[in-house]
């Protein structure tokens, strides 16, 4: 082939392939066949921005840090916050549960403090799934921000050891994670004949109706997640509700849908889209929420609030978990690429003289919790208007994690 340096042009929407001056066309073509950095073809379930919120130019506001607000402006924000949460129905109810399938691991002295905290969270989430009659077979569990897949692993173990053999029938586990993850637990289930599949895709671009695994049996869905970070929670809700459809003909099944119900046993009786049986998602990183994707916009607007207040409340929400930081430190990123949060990812908002001059540390922490409650109240409102009964639950002690609120939803009985 030609020996002159050659550059391969980008495909539509892609980037040009990097090359070196001494790379010939023949060498480049050979390299591209095995290069891990080349752009990979998009999977069939990738639909760009399918779960993203609409872009409104009049709502695109410049990012204003709290340190740029005057004391009077901050006081006005606090007054708006207090007025908005007054009479809010979505209060957080403390209810710490566990599950027997994790009991041996919870008392195993070989597990360190960090592992023990994660186990407590996973055990409580399973306990709440069981209490909501969601922990059973004949359904597909979709875990958002799956990471290593530990939550799905314990869901499978709970159903594998269930006293009712039907609990293991027609069980699918779908793990959604944007990034490549090391030390995954998926391999433990490869030989079990289990439909246990991982999708490496941003939730923003995931069309569940196009996932081949879900098309095979068309089972109803249960959404789960442990620390689904910021806007990723809203994207996950859009993803689940978009798949479940809108309008009366696709309203969720009744709360007490038994696993033996005819509609679940015979998927052919209920065409796609499939119903959403419920969800249990542990929330975190409210400072990483974005107005564009936020599902509670209508809720905010009903209270006379808009994107400017939302942005400020998101920043203030970090007061609940991290206190304050120096004014010259960068504000928390609003990038949604990290869709799974852990304790070390909860960045605090900036210190300001105006704030510290009239708000004590204890008061700031209280206001941070109110910001989180208001943001989550909008998510509850979104689900309630679509036929679901919701709860915000303190599912573990704050000594386990400061991000200890679980959002649950099941179809309303009425």
- The 10s digit of each residue's pLDDT in 288-311 is 999 999 999 999 999 999 999 999
pLDDT given at position 253: 42
| Residue in the structure block whose two tokens are 């597909």 | 140
Buried b (16+ CB within 10 A) or exposed e, 132-143: bebbbbbbbbbb
pTM of the shown model: 0.81
pLDDT given at position 36: 64
Average pLDDT value over all residues in the chain: 81
- Token pair listed for 331: 């504000």
The band of 261, judged by pLDDT with boundaries at 50, 70 and 90, is very low
Exposure of 277 by Cβ count < 10 A (0-12 exposed, 13-18 middle, 19+ buried)?
buried
* pLDDT of 10 above 70: no
pLDDT given at position 336: 46
What are the φ and ψ backbone dihedral angles of 55, each rounded to 5 degrees? -100, 120
- In words, the CATH class of domain 60-414 is alpha beta
Distance CA 275, CA 54 (A): 25
The band of 67, judged by pLDDT with boundaries at 50, 70 and 90, is confident
Identify which has the larger pLDDT, 332 or 248. Answer: 332
112-119 average pLDDT score: 95
Contact criterion met (CB below 8 Å) for 403 and 133 = no
The band of 269, judged by pLDDT with boundaries at 50, 70 and 90, is very low
What are the φ and ψ backbone dihedral angles of 8, each rounded to 5 degrees? -85, 130
% of the chain exceeding 90 in pLDDT: 57
The band of 242, judged by pLDDT with boundaries at 50, 70 and 90, is confident
pLDDT given at position 365: 93
CA atoms within 13 A on the CB side of 348: 18
The band of 17, judged by pLDDT with boundaries at 50, 70 and 90, is low
Of the candidates 360, 389, 52, 362, which has an alpha carbon nearest to the alpha carbon of residue 231?
A: 52
**Which runs of consecutive H residues, i.e. helices, occur in 245-341?**
262-265, 297-302, 307-317, 319-322
The band of 168, judged by pLDDT with boundaries at 50, 70 and 90, is confident
* pLDDT of 108 above 50: yes
pLDDT given at position 328: 39
* pLDDT of 117 above 80: yes
The band of 166, judged by pLDDT with boundaries at 50, 70 and 90, is confident
pLDDT given at position 228: 95
- The 10s digit of each residue's pLDDT in 188-233 is 666 666 788 999 999 999 999 999 999 988 999 999 999 999 999 9
Domain residue spans of the chain: 60-414
* pLDDT of 8 above 80: no
């Amino acid at each position: 082939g030609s020996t002159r340096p050659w550059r391969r042009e980008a495909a539509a929407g892609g980037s040009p392939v990097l090359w070196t001056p001494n790379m010939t066309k023949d060498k480049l073509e050979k390299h591209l066949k095995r290069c891990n950095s080349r752009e990979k073809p998009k999977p069939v379930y990738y639909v760009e921005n399918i779960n993203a919120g609409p872009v409104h130019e009049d709502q695109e506001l410049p990012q204003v840090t709290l340190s740029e607000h005057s004391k009077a402006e901050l006081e006005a924000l606090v007054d708006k916050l207090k007025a908005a949460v007054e009479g809010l129905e979505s209060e957080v109810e403390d209810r710490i549960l566990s599950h027997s399938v994790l009991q041996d691991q919870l008392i195993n002295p070989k597990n360190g403090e960090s592992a023990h905290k994660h186990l407590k969270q996973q055990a409580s989430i399973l306990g709440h799934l069981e209490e909501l009659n969601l922990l059973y077979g004949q359904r597909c569990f979709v875990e958002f921000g799956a990471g290593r897949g530990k939550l799905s692993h314990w869901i499978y173990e709970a159903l594998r050891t269930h006293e009712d053999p039907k609990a293991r029938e027609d069980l699918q586990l779908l793990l959604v994670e944007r990034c490549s993850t090391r030390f995954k637990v998926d391999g433990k289930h490869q030989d079990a004949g289990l439909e246990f599949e991982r999708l490496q895709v941003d939730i923003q671009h995931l069309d569940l109706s196009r996932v081949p695994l879900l098309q095979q049996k068309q089972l109803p869905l249960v959404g789960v997640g442990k620390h689904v970070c910021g806007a990723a929670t809203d994207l996950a809700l859009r993803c689940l509700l978009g798949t479940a459809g809108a309008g009366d003909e696709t309203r969720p099944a009744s709360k007490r849908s038994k696993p033996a119900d005819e509609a679940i046993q015979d998927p052919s009786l209920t065409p796609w889209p499939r119903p959403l049986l419920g969800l249990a998602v542990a929330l975190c990183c409210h400072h990483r929420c974005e107005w564009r994707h936020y599902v509670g916009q209508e809720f905010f607007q009903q209270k006379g609030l808009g994107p400017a207040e939302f942005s400020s409340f998101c920043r203030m929400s970090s007061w609940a978990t991290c206190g304050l930081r120096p004014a010259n430190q960068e504000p928390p990123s609003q990038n949604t690429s990290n869709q799974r949060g852990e304790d070390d990812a909860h960045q605090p908002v900036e210190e300001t003289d105006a704030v510290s001059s009239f708000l004590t540390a204890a008061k700031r922490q209280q206001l941070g919790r109110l910001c989180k409650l208001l943001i989550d109240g909008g998510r509850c409102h979104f689900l309630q208007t679509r036929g679901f009964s919701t709860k915000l639950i303190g599912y573990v002690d704050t000594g386990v994690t400061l991000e200890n609120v679980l959002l649950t939803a099941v179809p309303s009985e009425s």
